[in-house]
Amino acid sequence: MSTLKAVRGTRDLLPPETDLWNRVEATARQVFARYNFGEIRTPVFEDTQLFARGVGEETDIVSKEMYTWEDRERFDARAMREAWLSRDPNFFNSRTNVRTTESTIDLIVQRPGVLFEKPVKVVELVNFRPTIRQQDIDDLRKIVHRYSPEDPAAQKIGFLVVPSQRNADLATKEHTSKDKVVVVPISGKFFQSSQSLTLRPENTAGVVRAYIEYKLGESGLLQKLFYIGPQFRRERPQKGRYRQFWQIGAEVIGPPSAGSESPVRDAEVLEMLATFLDELGITGWTLVLNSVGSANDRPRYIAALREALKDKAPKMCADCQRRAETNPLRVLDCKVPEDQPIIETLPRIADYLDEDSRAHFATVLAALDACGVKYEVNPRLVRGLDYYTRTAFEFTHGGLGAQNALLGGGRYDGLSEAIGGPKAPGIGFAIGLDRLILTLQAQEQQAVTLADAYIAPLGEAQNSAALELARELRRAGLRIELGDGSFRLKKSFETGDKLARKIVLLGEDELRSGILTVKDFASGEQTKVPREELASHLR
């Protein structure tokens, strides 16, 4: 039998690497809190239409990379309950000898096996109620036979299965094999149709969906929300890219009256990201940004781009040839080296911006200049999702190679309306945690997080006392690794050197005197420390 492994494109995160992940996440929470962001947690799967309408059906994400499935049709117990309660009580009682009360109906509707959902699944009754008589099954089949399985109306028939000799005691008594089964058909729409669901490939659409669903815009205030969690895309795994990957992201969204369209919001988000990267200790990052225009600018530019690609697209990669027809703007995002000279000859969106878009972008740049955030304008920069408008940006880092984007985002002024909500301009970003961690490791900032001390009991008789000391130090806020008295002293030192900054020796003499021996592995210094001063000495 082969050994089970993590699914391709996924991975386990183990210590000490998780220490670095926790540090990154903690830094994000600390920085975002200073900018008055609150955390939002959305479901990991959503209605497929959310991404089709929001992200764009012609994007690679929606057309090729999403994990999508059909959720089976669901039985609507509430509809069945209401249908039974609306029936003539005499009709009901004459067939079942059960009083029609709300408590009785609730029990019947909710009880698995008592409610027989579909006439074509008679065998399920056997699975639910193995003690039922064969004669009862035969009687049931005769009733079911009246309805053709091919008839769509048959799927709207609910069957109530109850014993004929039951009364108000139904709520406390169980079925027995001696009970006579009565099947009463009733028409109604008791099944909700199947729903297409998708594991979220990105989180902005889900956040905007929540903004709409919970009417957050009615407060009249900006909503500043951040999230940390997994996303899912079925793409080719490579360094720093996984099929389940983690993102830290944030969104600023609200009604126009709250200032959600202001270019100052764009600059504030970019300045916050610069602060976050600086506080993580990431050096050498570059902010690259561009304006991709408003909804009014885009059609003019796309028309010009489509015209320019008529002769040039056949010389480009297969993806660009397809995008030239379906979504020309995405051609600019091509990473194939051979296509770059052609892309450089294509029209630039900056030449198709209206005055409002030009002024908006100029104000963003001026605000960045004022707060000292350095940047580069790249007129070819676009983002991979259809909802972006005006400001689009990436933070890149040379330590990641050709795929050098650490994070990216932009403004999405029409996304809320695209998925059925009110006008709610916004701007946001997503940080790929996997790639960010690679950058930190490349800068050799991934040092093993060592415990403050390793408690080494000198003999098994001291194990309990060592555990007591470890508990005392841990409650003082220290990170402690506990050794074992069965280890020889040499092994304790070797193990402690791998796991902690210092080692604390605990033998009979130390217990008796209350003076503990502490050695610092880095300096080699060995000192005697009173037990009551140990916690402060180890900090």
Residue type, 240: G
The pairing of strands 389-397 and 285-291 is antiparallel
Would you state the pLDDT for residue 84?
53
The C-alpha atoms of residue 353 and residue 200 are separated, in whole angstroms, by: 32
- The reported pLDDT for the residue numbered 95 is 41
DSSP labels for 109-150? Answer: HHSBTTEE--TT-THHHHHH-TTS-HHHHHHHHHHHTTS-TT
Cα 166 to Cα 168: distance, rounded to the nearest angstrom: 7
Cis peptide before 337 (omega within 30 of 0): no
Helices (H), ranges, 392-531: 415-418, 433-442, 463-475, 489-499, 508-513
Amino acid identity, position 477:
G
Candidate CATH numbers 3.40.50.2000, 3.40.190.10, 3.40.50.2300, 3.40.50.800; the one for domain 453-538:
3.40.50.800
Within its chain, how far is the Cα of 12 from the centroid? 16
Give the H/E segment covering residue 457: strand 453-457
Helices (H), 214-354: 263-280, 297-312, 318-326, 340-344
Cα–Cα distance, 376 to 408 (Å, whole number):
14
Contact 96, 84 (CB under 8 A): no
pLDDT (tens digit, 0 to 9) for every residue of the chain, 539 residues total?
Answer: 778 888 888 888 888 888 889 999 999 999 999 999 999 999 999 988 888 886 766 666 776 788 888 887 665 656 655 655 565 444 444 444 333 333 333 333 333 333 333 332 222 232 233 344 555 445 544 544 443 444 443 333 333 443 333 322 332 333 333 333 334 444 455 555 667 899 999 999 999 999 999 999 999 999 999 999 999 988 877 777 789 999 999 999 999 999 899 999 999 999 999 999 999 988 888 999 999 888 888 888 888 888 888 888 888 888 788 888 777 877 877 778 888 888 888 888 888 888 999 999 999 999 999 999 999 998 878 765 667 888 999 998 875 555 577 899 999 888 898 888 999 999 999 998 988 888 888 775 545 678 999 999 998 888 999 899 999 999 999 999 999 988 988 899 989 998 899 999 988 888 888 899 999 988 888 899 998 889 989 98
- Give pLDDT tens digits for 373-416: 999 998 878 765 667 888 999 998 875 555 577 899 999 888 89
Q: What is the pLDDT of residue 304?
A: 84
Each domain of the chain, given as residue ranges in start order, spans 17-67+196-296+354-442, 74-192, 453-538
Amino acid 58: pLDDT: 60
pLDDT on residue 207: 94
Question: What is the reported pLDDT for 152?
Answer: 42
pLDDT tens-place string over residues 267-297: 999 999 999 999 998 888 899 999 988 888 8
Closest CA to 114 of 77, 151, 147: 77
pLDDT at residue 331 in the model:
81
CATH number of 17-67+196-296+354-442: 3.30.930.10
Q: Give the pLDDT of residue 448.
A: 60
What local confidence, expressed as pLDDT, does residue 116 receive? Answer: 36
**CA–CA separation, 51 and 411 (whole Å):** 17
pLDDT, position 427 = 94
What is the pLDDT, as a whole number, of residue 101? 37
What's the confidence (pLDDT) of residue 317? 87
